[in-house]
Structure 1
Amino acid sequence: MASTESDFLKALYLDWGDRMVANPNMTIPDLRALFDEWEKPTFEPEDVTYKTDTVGGVKGIWAYPIGCDKSKVMVYTHGGGFAVGSSSSHRKLAGHVAKALGVSILVLDYRLAPEHPFPAQVEDAVSVYKALLADGIAAKNIGTIGDSAGGNLAISSVLKFRELGLELPGCVIAFSPWLDMELTGGTLKSNEATDGLVSTPVLEGMRGMFLGENGSPTDPIANPLKSDLAGFPPLYVNAGSVETLLDDALRVSDQAKAAGVNVTLSVADGMQHVFPFLAGRAPEADAEIAKIASWYKAL
């Protein structure tokens, strides 16, 4: 049974929905301001410092836990349907994960849709990865991590690295990834009544902004479920059992396993979309991050 502390996240999501319904003409800047409240569920982690930086021409925020191994870097691509969210909204979550893993995390402010449609977001991730490699960070000591649309980017950017002939990173972590641009997942309907945030109409709107006029929902970089995952790095995927995007997590895990990838799937009972946002507040999030840390350290 879900903890009472975890109710905070669903309440926040429902509040956003109410505010969007009340203001159907909400502008993109207003939406971005709304989604920057995504940091509210996350308690500030102890003993973590932050630094604003530009890497490979892309702005972002570093999370540096005291005593972390700075030769090991996780590149975090934030969620928000490729159009909202920021390094600010995800800074604290990244801090909790970085502290648990004992590494540094760079949260990217990649270019956002609709001003910058696909593949701008992937291109920014590639620029950052190349810059880290040029700075002497070993590929095996770099990982990609992201949530929701950023979970897509954590996977799709590695597919792009492979296409470009770059040495692949050491691991990939995806929280509640939104992968299927065709929106065919069965849990979009079966979990519609229990997901506080993500619905098919919301995804349709975000998809339109992301793909723009020229993008295709079956492009394997935009929709990693259309890709061949053979040779992919070790992959950790999680999701909440009551969220509409659960099917995306299940399908990518199945495809990775069939391709021979070292994949771990974690589905948390009763949890909402990107439930690790409850880090420091709810036991389910803290337990999940501890699980990820154990997985990472065993690689």
Structure 2
Amino acid sequence: METPRRNIDSVSKRSILVNGAAILALLAAAAAAMASAPGQPSAVDDAGNLRLPNGTVIPYSNLASVQARNNFVDQTRGYERILAPKPSDWQRRQGETAPEEERRWYDQTLYLPWLAKLRRQFAVSVEPKTIAGVQTDIVDPAGGASDANRHRVLINLHGGGMVVGGRYGGQLESIPIASVGKIRVITVDYRMAPEHKYPAAEQDVIAVYRDLLKTDRPENIGIYGCSAGAELTASTIATLIATGERKPGAIGMFGGGPADSPNLGDSNYIFSGGKARWSEAADGYTGDVNLRDATRYPAGSADIQRRFPPSLLISGTRDAALSRTVFAHSRLVDLGVDAELHVWEGAPHCSFAQPFVDPGVPESQQAWKVIARFFDRHLGREKR
């Protein structure tokens, strides 16, 4: 039997998190880019007022909900906490490697506490399953999918800068959608950097997708992801189109889009305090690839993008990837793609899908409903 491919985020936390802004390379998150370096005062006060690295203070939007403001404070300070040294009583377990220790650190500090909140809010089942040699988690709503979604399925591609987020990060992004949309979601634990380079992750996703095609119609399948998962969604679809394979019925790219340029735009420049940067972690995955070369990276081709399926793009006004998402949407629309864009006031990067997600935030609830309704409108219903 084929051994499941399990991604291992073995980069040392210390080798990536050089300062407060550098966690952007790990999670590509605006809140991380805003976070202060260890030992410095928090970048955000109790009222949500944000102090940028250049000294500018931005009051939290009075158009956003109180719950969103509180979650913004939690998220920004949470990333600052991750930057801090491990507690003195944190010990490596017997037989545990350094990469395993770091992975456990992220799981226990970032993913699992917030995943527990979602599991209390949403009634779902989560079943680990190896599909086409790739580790996945099958997330089903309590009582099963609705009648309308009986022959539909979504594939989730987790965020995490192409470095972390396997299993638990994917579950964070899948559980609300499965519950709100009453639909099965399969989250893929694809191979990541630094052990693996492009196109390893795309190969894993396509392997899972092809396996689903044995029982499901392509128009009944949707693919979505946030942050690095958004870019992976775009590159996977581009590869399917370039190779003449059947494409899914609809896709979602949240907090990003096709990564065909190192340019990140105004929002990243603003939230990095005038120090626009390319995600080092994502660059570690595609760093050897000319993103402008459509023969190697078809996601950058206008001819490929014009054949994208209906596409949903989501961002927030405090998302460092806002400009990138808006630009991706405008380009798809110009190419004739059925694409829609939703931007939430005061929302940081993938706030409804990343660590620190709070099911009590109205804006996150709205985002989940938008996602569920989008796929409901665009996916097919007929049995194979």
Normalised by the shorter chain, which TM-score bucket?
0.7 to 0.9
1:162 maps to 2:241? yes
Q: CA 1:33–1:271 in structure 2 vs 1: closer, same or farther (change >3 Å)?
A: farther
- Whether contact under 8 Å (1:175, 1:239) holds in the other structure is yes
1:249 maps to 2:325? yes
1:65 maps to 2:141? yes
Name the TM-score, length of structure 2 as normaliser: 0.68
Q: CA 1:216–1:50 in structure 2 vs 1: closer, same or farther (change >3 Å)?
A: same
Q: Could you give the per-residue CA deviations for residues 82-135 of structure 1, whole angstroms, max 9, x where no partner exists?
A: 11111212313301111222211111110111111111011111111111102x
Q: CA 1:204–1:5 in structure 2 vs 1: closer, same or farther (change >3 Å)?
A: closer
By how many angstroms is 1:193 displaced?
A: 4.6
1:283 maps to 2:283? no
Equivalent residue for 2:281? 206
Equivalent residue for 1:13? 79
SS in 1 for 2:318: coil
Name the TM-score, length of structure 1 as normaliser: 0.86
Matching residue within 283, 290, 310 for 1:216: 290
By how many angstroms is 1:172 displaced?
A: 0.4
1:112 maps to 2:192? yes
By how many angstroms is 1:17 displaced?
A: 3.7
Equivalent residue for 1:23? none
- Whether contact under 8 Å (2:153, 2:185) holds in the other structure is yes
1:237 maps to 2:313? yes
Matching residue within 266, 276, 292 for 2:342: 266
Q: Could you give the per-residue CA deviations for residues 49-79 of structure 1, whole angstroms, max 9, x where no partner exists?
A: 1110011211010100122145211111111
Q: How many residues align?
A: 286
Q: CA 1:210–1:96 in structure 2 vs 1: closer, same or farther (change >3 Å)?
A: same
- Whether contact under 8 Å (1:191, 1:244) holds in the other structure is yes
One-letter amino acid of the structure 2 residue matched with residue 140 of structure 1 = E
Q: Could you give the per-residue CA deviations for residues 19-57 of structure 1, whole angstroms, max 9, x where no partner exists?
A: 59xxxxxx7655544543145445224221111001121
One-letter amino acid of the structure 1 residue matched with residue 313 of structure 2 = V
- Whether contact under 8 Å (2:137, 2:188) holds in the other structure is yes
- Whether contact under 8 Å (1:77, 1:151) holds in the other structure is yes
- Whether contact under 8 Å (2:158, 2:173) holds in the other structure is no
Q: Equivalents in 1 of 2:104, 2:324: separation in Å?
A: 27
Q: Equivalents in 2 of 1:141, 1:279: separation in Å?
A: 30
1:77 maps to 2:157? yes
Q: Superposed, which structure 2 residues align to 1:41-56 within 5 Å?
A: 41=114, 43-44=118-119, 45-56=121-132
Unmatched runs of 5 consecutive residues or more in structure 2: 1-61, 87-97, 379-384
One-letter amino acid of the structure 2 residue matched with residue 234 of structure 1 = P
Q: Equivalents in 2 of 1:122, 1:15: separation in Å?
A: 32
Q: Based on CA coordinates, which of the two structures has the bigger radius of gyration?
A: 2
SS in 2 for 1:140: helix
Q: CA 1:40–1:282 in structure 2 vs 1: closer, same or farther (change >3 Å)?
A: farther
Q: Equivalents in 1 of 2:112, 2:185: separation in Å?
A: 16
One-letter amino acid of the structure 1 residue matched with residue 347 of structure 2 = M
1:145 maps to 2:224? yes
- Whether contact under 8 Å (1:64, 1:104) holds in the other structure is yes
Equivalent residue for 1:24? none
- Whether contact under 8 Å (1:139, 1:168) holds in the other structure is yes
Q: Equivalents in 1 of 2:189, 2:152: separation in Å?
A: 20
Name which of structure 1's ranges 72-81 and 35-44 shifts more when overlaid on structure 2.
35-44
Q: CA 1:118–1:103 in structure 2 vs 1: closer, same or farther (change >3 Å)?
A: same
Name which of structure 1's ranges 222-231 and 136-145 shifts more when overlaid on structure 2.
222-231
SS in 2 for 1:49: strand
Equivalent residue for 2:205? 125
Q: Equivalents in 2 of 1:32, 1:51: separation in Å?
A: 21
Q: CA 1:225–1:284 in structure 2 vs 1: closer, same or farther (change >3 Å)?
A: farther
- Whether contact under 8 Å (1:177, 1:248) holds in the other structure is yes
Q: CA 1:234–1:58 in structure 2 vs 1: closer, same or farther (change >3 Å)?
A: same
One-letter amino acid of the structure 2 residue matched with residue 111 of structure 1 = R
Give RMSD over aligned pairs.
2.5
Q: CA 1:137–1:255 in structure 2 vs 1: closer, same or farther (change >3 Å)?
A: same
- Whether contact under 8 Å (1:279, 1:286) holds in the other structure is no
Q: CA 1:183–1:13 in structure 2 vs 1: closer, same or farther (change >3 Å)?
A: farther
Name which of structure 1's ranges 283-292 and 10-19 shifts more when overlaid on structure 2.
10-19
1:99 maps to 2:99? no
SS in 2 for 1:80: coil
